Amino acid sequence: MPDNAGHAGRQGVTPLPRWSEEQTVFTDNPRVADAHKAALRSLERAVGHSAEPTPDAEAREAVTRMVRGGKVLILTGAGVSTDSGIPDYRGPQGSLRRTRPMTVQEFRADPAARKRYWARAFIGHRLMNQARPNLGHRVLAEWQRRGLLSGIVTQNVDGLHEQAGAADVIALHGDMSEVECLDCGATEPRELYEVRLEAANPGYRETVTVRDAHVNPDGDVTLSDADVACFTTVACAVCGSERMKPSVVYFGENVPKERRERVEELKADSDALLVVGSSLAVMSGYRFVLDAIKRGQPTATITAGPGRADDKVDVLWRTLATPALLEVEARLLRSQE
């Protein structure tokens, strides 16, 4: 997939910042530096308009027919959680317009980067915990309860599908429930780690100024360098290492093998694929569409903006996630009357 320069002429594409041109200063290992820059290029990927959307009435009917037929695999992205107050990544108001997520290479090699993450996440985690499932999450959970879905896979780390009542959700990129030590492998519940952070930083929440009231999709907020400098990190309770990481998949990191295998089983057991609220800009999401096409499964996307697979799916419904899901649910209920 070309970078932003390759999309400059596509209608409606607002280029993202060019982070891969930044000088790599956190490592002198060429392989680590190259992997970091490759992750940044993935972040920079601007997805342009590559196909005309399906007319609304036709898309609504096609998605309703797909769901009514059952065994639909749902893949959700950040767009399904925007109505819960969590911004998406690549939309016009997306978090990538303001700041970029950290790569796994930075997190592993740069103590200053880890401190910056934990200071920002210490504030953002509480804000993310205040987010509540929206009606879109609840509709998907209800479809699962009625046996219409083969499964739900999400690219989000917010846990809102489970809060809405969905079961056995595969969080492709992990969630915020645990923290892991990169040296000894010990894990700790995130809430217990937060207690230790609180003890090490009494009064910190009351003294910092949050530059952006929105929590980012990966669970942090934007803080000043001065506020970050005042923060104290907490070491692993088992080995004392300072290299503590949330159990989520960072940019530049692979989805764990066991999780990939569970996803492959779901794909094989599905009759159709419905993508909700994802541009599919990263390969881990885009592959869902490619694999469904190989299996001859019908494919549809519901997204407010352009997506990487727009020219490949059978139904391209260009609209907001929650209203679309509610419209489909209303049609399903009417058909039962």
Catalytic residues: 173
User: How many CB atoms neighbour CB 105 within 10 A?
Assistant: 27
Residues in the chain: 337
Specify the DSSP element, H or E, that contains 315: strand 315-318
Both tokens of 204, joined, read 């910190």
Using alpha carbons only, how large is the chain's radius of gyration in Å?
Answer: 20
- Report which of 122, 292, 331 is spatially closest to residue 207, judged by C-alpha positions: 122
CA-based nearest residue to 32, from 253, 283, 242: 253
The two three-digit tokens of residue 24, written as one number: 């790599």
Tokens of 290: 């490619």
- 65: CB partners within 8 A, 6+ apart: none
Tell me how crowded residue 111 is: count the other CB atoms within 10 A of its CB.
11
Of 84, 79, 106, nearest in space to 94 by CA: 79
Cβ neighbors of 111 (< 8 A, separation 6 or more) are: 242
Name, in order, each residue with C-beta under 8 angstroms of 270's C-beta and a sequence gap of 6 or more. 71, 72, 73, 150, 151, 292, 297
Q: How many CA atoms lie within 13 A of 162 on its CB side?
A: 13
> Which H or E run contains 188?
strand 187-189
Task: Say how far apart CA 275 and CA 154 lie, in whole Å.
Answer: 10
Q: How far apart are CA 182 and CA 111, in angstroms?
A: 13
Q: How far apart are CA 49 and CA 139, in angstroms?
A: 28
